[in-house]
Each structure stands twice: as C-alpha cells, then as structure tokens.
Structure 1
Amino acid sequence: MLSQQLLNALSLGSVYAVFALGFTLIFGVLGVINLSHGVIFMLGSYMALQFVTLLHVPIFIALVLAAGMSGVLAVVIDWLILRPLRARNAPHLAPMIATIGVSILLTSLTQGFMGAEVRRFPSGTLPEESITWGDLHITYVQIGIMVIALMMMLGLWLLMKKTQLGRALRAIAESPKAAALLGIPVERLFYYTSFMAGSLGGVAGVLVGLSFNAISPFMGQPMLHKGIAVIILGGMGDIRGALIGGLFLGFAEVFSVAYLSSDFRDAIAFGLLFLILLIKPSGLFGKILERKA
C-alpha cells in the first residue's frame, strides 16, 4: 500500500535527517568531517538501553539522558582530539584519521564490555499497539520518531536563524579568524557545537534502536556511511540539505525494499545519490562551504 510505504519512508528518513544534522553542523562550524559521529550514535542507543534496563527509567527520560551524555562525549572527543589539531593548524586529513581511530577504539571497547550480540529494549518500553486508519497502520514508535525528529530539526533551525548564538555560529562558519576579531569566543562555541551535534547523534541512535529494536556495537558504521552520503547530497554544511538528503535516502530505501528487493536497497539508494551528484556535484543547495581567511 502506497500510503503505508510513504509513512515508513518518512519515519526512516527522519532518523537519517537527525543524524545528518549533527554531522553537517560539525562540518559547517568546525570545518572537519568528524568520523567518530557514528560511534556516538551507537553509544547513544546503548546508554538509553542501560537506563531502561538497569535503572528502569522511562524511555523518554532515557532519551534525554542519552542525548546529554552523547553531547558530553562529543565535547570530550573535541577537547582531547580536535582541539590540539586546531592549535597546530593540522591539515584537513588529520582530524578525519584521528576520529577514525577514536571510532575504532570506542567500538572495540563497547564490544569488549557489552559483547557482540544484538541487544534489544525490553518488552513494554513503548506501547506495542498501532493506530489503524483504513489500511494504514501507525505505531507509537513511528509517531514518536517523527515528532521528536521534527521538534529537533525545527529547534536547530530556530537556534541558527533567530538567536544570537546562531548568528555567532554562522559567523564562525564563515571565518573563525574574523569571528575572533569581533570578540566571539570561538573555542567555547566549538564545544557548544560539538555538544549539539553529539546530542543529535545520540538521539538518532536511540530512535533507530527503538525503530528496529536491535542494538549492536557495529551499528554506527553503516549509519556513518549514510550520513556522509546525505550531507554530500544536500551540500556540505547546509542544514536544509541534511534534512532533504535524509528524507531522500529514507524514501529511496523503503521504496526499493517494497517494490523491488531488499537485496538491492543500498545499491539503488546510493545509485540514485550518485546520479544526482553527477548532475549537481556541489549538492542540492549550492556551493560546498569553503573556509575563508
């Protein structure tokens, strides 16, 4: 049924968009591609799982706590890894290689402590009933995913467009040196950016864990690949592009599975991305962001 597939695609695309928003926020402000974002996504889902299973915290509170802890983790990674590289004016490849190392380290530690087997949220974490409207079935998980994703996307857009903090972040994205000369605390805002991006990644991890009810130490790497594809498709550093690109990828995957075969899901989705980028290499929303002196 077409309406059911549209709903499924919107739910999946919303998760991709939330993940990609954090990814593109880091690139837009810090000017680096943080390849540890996938492991933050994975750890966010594990944090929420531990809050629910060990502390018996309601899932919505667990989601908020996991988002906060994911943001703190992202700040720690920025302070330990990215800050020293910024101070040394390291080339662009250095942060990518360093964050790959962080990702491998944290994935291995998670596998060592939690095991490689797939973990699941306990039964009853969310209501398992669905709302039926004709032939359309909407689960509470899908409703929660779309509402949370919409609120976070709208909140980030309002922050960037309507607040003094957002204006300062946009100034840094244009030129960190010029922003510093204007009295903007650049280094502190780098940490704020890392916290927001990490929180978005953690929330996306919890939403995926709830949607598929499957959490493993290796779930971050496939999402990282999709996040990179989404921000390239939308235009590096563009928030609108992250939203549209995430929804595009979700729709491409769902309709590939529904009307063709699950075996070709990634091939068709990434093939379409490839064709679009052949036509518009800079992404859907203009030029790729460039740093200015």
Structure 2
Amino acid sequence: MTDFLSQFFQQLINGLSIGAIYALIAIGYTMVYGIVGMINFAHGEIYMIGAYVGLVVLTAFGAASGLPVPVILGSALLISAAVTGLYGYAVEQVAYKPLRGAPRLVPLISALGVSVFLQNYVALGQGAYDLAVPDILSGTWSFSLGGQFDVTFSYSRMLIIAVTVILMVALTMFIKHSRLGQACRACSQDMSMANLLGIDTNRVISFTFMLGAVLAAVGGVLVGQSTGKINPFIGFIIGMKAFTAAVLGGIGSIPGAMLGGFVLGLVETFAQGYWSSEYKDVISFGLLILVLLFLPTGLLGKSSMEKV
C-alpha cells in the first residue's frame, strides 16, 4: 500500500506538470479561436522558438559567474516571451490578417505553411538534431507523509506547476477586469458589433496572438529545463496535444483549455505509469473521442470569454 501511494503521488505531480504545459499552449489556441474563429496551427512552432530563445539566453547568462538562478531563469523567460511575442504578431500579420475575409480553409492552409516554414527555418539555422539545455534547476525535493511513504519532486516540475498557476490566475484577472481584456471578451461575442462600438478589433486580434505566443514561450523555456534537450520538431507533437486539450475542455473557453490540459496530462501520465507508454496516446485520444461523443462541445462546452 505504501509503495502504491508513493507511486500514485509521484505520477500525480508528473501529470500535473505535463498538463500545465498543455494548458499554457492550449490557451493560445482557444483564445485565437474564441476571437477570430480560426485555428492557429503555427502555435506549436512558436512554443519551439521560445524554447530555442531560452536556450540561447541560458547559455549566454550561464557562462557569467555570480548571477543567481532566479535572475538567469527570469531573464530567459522575459527575453523569450518578448521575442516570441513578436513572432506571434508577425504570424498574425502575414498568415491571418490578409485572409480574414477568405474561406476558413484558406487561413488554415496558410497557418500550416507557416508551421512548416518555421520548422525548417530553425532546423537550417540551428541544426535538425537535439541540443542540450543548460540545467540550472538541478536537484529534487523530497518529503515523507506521516512517515508512511516518500515523494520526490524535481525543482523543474515544481516550477512548471507554480508558474502555470500564477499565469492562469493573472490571465483570468486580466481578461475579467482590464479594458483590453473586456475588449477581448466583446470581440469574442460579436466582432462586428465590437467594431461598431469603437473597439479597435485589429489591435485586439494582434494582442491575442501575441499573448498566446508569450504563454507558449514560457512553456518552451520550462520544458527545456525539465527535459534537458530541444530540437526543431518539438512544437508539432506538443502543439497537436495542446490543441487536443483545447478541444477536450471546450474550444473557445479559457477555463476549458486549462481543464483539458490538466486532464490530458494526468491521463497520459497515469496510462504510462500503470499500463504502458506505448498505449498512452491511444488512451488519451480514446478519451477525447469518448468525451466528444457524449459532450460534442467539450467538458466545459464552447463558451465565449465572457464566461472566463
């Protein structure tokens, strides 16, 4: 019983950390869909670029002696967020803005083209192989619950969960109470009416792409610390899983994206830990199909940002 509880809590922490990353990226998908009604399939590559920018900053700052870990990691997060925010803006301006009046399939193909372009752009510039990420968060923290069993947490996984929770709370407060957040909610309900009421809808759409890119960048830097390596193709798989999490929770709903990310991460981890890693994707996507059969709009339904 003791071994079972130890393994259970260990898998729970692992699942929450993976789900936190899915949730961060899924929010970018769901915000763009909630406002523009389109799926940004280049979003996974923005996450990948954020990881590479974080690698550059960590490598540069890590060589300087005397800098504390919070300063190095904070600088990596801030610089990565700034750079990927610009990438998010560029993707919106190049792949989406000129095609807003086109049939929905056209911007979808455009986004896929941007995704392939960014993959090859990074592969040609940095090499199509794994790069090691400097480990500045090495170490673990263990505790014993009632002297019955021990649970060990890596600092990187603990940081992923903590940062994700803080960002999600901050995002929720921002969408609910700030003027720009209220404009996002208005645009998600009725873009034409929001435009007639004087809201700069172009600014809101660009901001949405940039905000999603910033969240993805944070995920990229933190995952690099957790796994210790990155390559130009990490964005495709995790982007598809984050999109799956957004659909599972209810595409267009920010709380749904958060819930879907954590549910998918937990299902994957427990399936791998108690069954087999070969079946984790089968079980995860089987769960998605099962949920959509009974709840076609996802766990929390398709809602606008008014319900954040």
- Where does residue 182 of structure 1 map in the other structure? 197
TM-score for both structures, normalised by structure 1: 0.94
Amino acid at match of 1:90: A
Within the candidate set 38, 49, 56, 1:50 is matched to: 56
Report the counterpart of residue 68 of structure 2 in structure 1.
none
Once the two structures are TM-superposed, the CA of residue 131 in structure 1 deviates from its matched residue by 1.0
Deviations 1:181-218 (A, max 9, x none): 10101111111111101111111111222211120101
Residue 62 of structure 1 corresponds to 76
How far off its partner does 1:288 sit? 6.4
Write the letter of the residue equivalent to 1:28: G
Partner of 2:41: 35
1:239 aligns with 2:254: yes
Cα offset for 1:238?
0.1
2:237 alignment partner in structure 1? 222
1:232-280 alpha-carbon deviations (Å, 9 max, x no partner): 1111110010011000100011001110011111111111111111111
Give 1:284 deviation, angstroms: 1.2
Aligned residues: 285
* 1:141 aligned partner: 156
Residue in structure 2 matched with residue 209 of structure 1 by the alignment: 224
Distance in 2 between the 1:178 and 1:48 partners? 40
Structure 1 match to 2:182: 167
Q: How far did residue 287 of structure 1 move?
A: 3.7
Report whether the alignment pairs 1:108 with 2:120: yes
Contact 2:24 2:216 (8 Å CA) reproduced: yes
**Letter paired with 1:165:** L
Alignment partner of 2:106 out of 66, 76, 94: 94
Report deviation, 1:81. 1.9
User: Whole-Å Cα distance in 1 between the matches of residues 95 and 25 of structure 2?
Assistant: 21
Q: CA deviation at 1:231?
A: 1.2
- Are 1:83 and 2:97 an aligned pair? yes
Q: CA RMSD in A?
A: 1.3
Structure 1 unaligned segments of length 5 or more: list them: none
Q: 1:286, 1:10 → 2: CA distance?
A: 22
- Matches of 1:66 and 1:105, distance apart in 2: 20
Q: 1:249 aligns with which of 256, 264, 271?
A: 264
Paired AA for residue 132 in structure 1: S
C-alpha contact (below 8 Å) 2:256/2:301 kept by paired residues: no
How far has the Cα of 1:118 moved from its partner? 0.7
Q: What is the deviation of 1:69?
A: 1.0
Distance 1:120 1:206 in 2: 13
> What amino acid is aligned across from residue 133 of structure 1 in structure 2?
F
Shift of 1:60: 2.0
Q: Which residue of 2 aligns with 1:129?
A: 139
Aligned residue identity for 1:281? P
SS in 2 for 1:281: coil
Structure 1 counterpart SS, 2:131: coil
State the match for 1:268 in structure 2: 283
Alpha-carbon distance in 2 for matches of 1:228, 1:139:
27
Is this contact kept in 1: 2:134–2:228, CA < 8 A? no
Percent identity reads 37
Structure 2 equivalent of residue 155 of structure 1: 170
Q: Distance in 2 between matches of 1:269 and 1:32?
A: 24
Give the partner amino acid of 1:115. Answer: G
Q: Aligned partners of 1:55, 1:143: CA distance in 2, in Å?
A: 22
- Aligned partner of 1:22 among 17, 28, 33: 28
Cα separation, 2, equivalents of 1:273 and 1:12 = 17
1:72 aligned residue: 86
Secondary structure of 1:278 counterpart: helix
1:2 and 2:8 equivalent? yes
Question: What is the alpha-carbon distance in structure 1 between the residues aligned to residue 250 and residue 139 of structure 2?
Answer: 39
Structure 2: distance between partners of 1:139 and 1:83: 42
Q: Secondary structure at the match of 2:132?
A: coil
Q: Which amino acid aligns with 1:6?
A: L
* Alpha-carbon distance, 1:286 to partner: 2.3
1:282 and 1:288 in contact (8 A); partners too: no
Name the SS for the 1:133 alignment partner: strand
